[in-house]
Structure 1
């Protein structure tokens, strides 16, 4: 697994708003944390319109994995939002369909191959209904970071070198 940044500053509990408002808040937070360029905000919102990332899962919790091109990224990172109420996202590969998303994993990756590795690992993670529910039920940002770190074997969570 590639090194990437994940800490409590990148976790949103009980996030609320429209799809675009939540994506903008998450992306602007990555800018504030100096992990991405300001162009990341528009890049991730526009890419979601063209290439939807909503993923229905085998549980009642659908997820979305928005990301954008590598040139907008300064440091590999992941931001996670647990939504207060599900928000409609168009389904990845089936843009005419929508799914009600409860968890968003926003990826900021500098290299395409690292993005593919993380996406593969996330897909494995998303297949486990118990783990997905445990993530959604997390009460603290620290619990979210610990669960993701444990399940995805992250080598740079808790910040590392920025």
Structure 2
């Protein structure tokens, strides 16, 4: 994964949203204003999440990886969001209810890269040291460095 997928402007570690719709609207508005996504990106997120939920439960954190079909994405990005309160979500695969405050919005242009990216993210969140850092990081600059280091390391190995 290239460092270019992360951007300091797409890290929000104190998002006020209390529902998936609010969160999608908030993320879509910023991603669109900054030129990463189409105006209807939020609707694309809602539609896809209903059919293919993206919640994951790891031993020491829950996270969701919302993504859309590539036509909604103008340039590749990963938008990192932590909400102040957990939001009800559904698990990937079995659609069981869960909740999480941790989100990585994956803006992928090349569908062929999606599987590899998901695999890298899964592997990172199985690394307890990385998870501990991710959970305690509250500063966007530090989060940017943590993620850039982690994912440069993974793609290099």
With normalisation by structure 1, the TM-score equals 0.87
Shift of the 33–45 alpha-carbon distance from structure 1 to 2, 3 Å rule, reads: same
Query: By how many angstroms is 1:135 displaced?
Result: 1.1
Q: Does 1:82 align with 2:82?
A: yes
What's the counterpart of residue 22 of structure 2?
Answer: 21
- What RMSD, in angstroms, separates the aligned Cα atoms of the two structures? 1.5
| Structure 2: runs of 5 or more not aligned | none
Query: By how many angstroms is 1:63 displaced?
Result: 0.1
Query: By how many angstroms is 1:94 displaced?
Result: 0.9
DSSP 3-state at the match of 1:66: coil
Query: By how many angstroms is 1:129 displaced?
Result: 2.7
Q: Deviations over 1:68-94 (max 9, x none)?
A: 001111110010111212111100001
Query: By how many angstroms is 1:36 displaced?
Result: 1.1
| Structure 1: runs of 5 or more not aligned | 155-162
Q: Deviations over 1:131-156 (max 9, x none)?
A: 123112112100111000000118xx
CA distance in 1, matches of 2:107, 2:129: 26
User: More helix per residue: 1 or 2?
Assistant: 2
What's the counterpart of residue 93 of structure 2?
Answer: 93
Comparing 1-10 with 68-77, greater Cα deviation is found at: 1-10
Contact 1:3 1:76 in 2 (8 A): no
What's the counterpart of residue 39 of structure 2?
Answer: 38
Query: By how many angstroms is 1:2 displaced?
Result: 4.5
Query: Alignment length, in residue pairs?
Result: 152
Structure 1 residue ranges, 4+ long, deviating more than 6 angstroms after superposition: none
What's the counterpart of residue 113 of structure 1?
Answer: 112
Shift of the 86–22 alpha-carbon distance from structure 1 to 2, 3 Å rule, reads: same
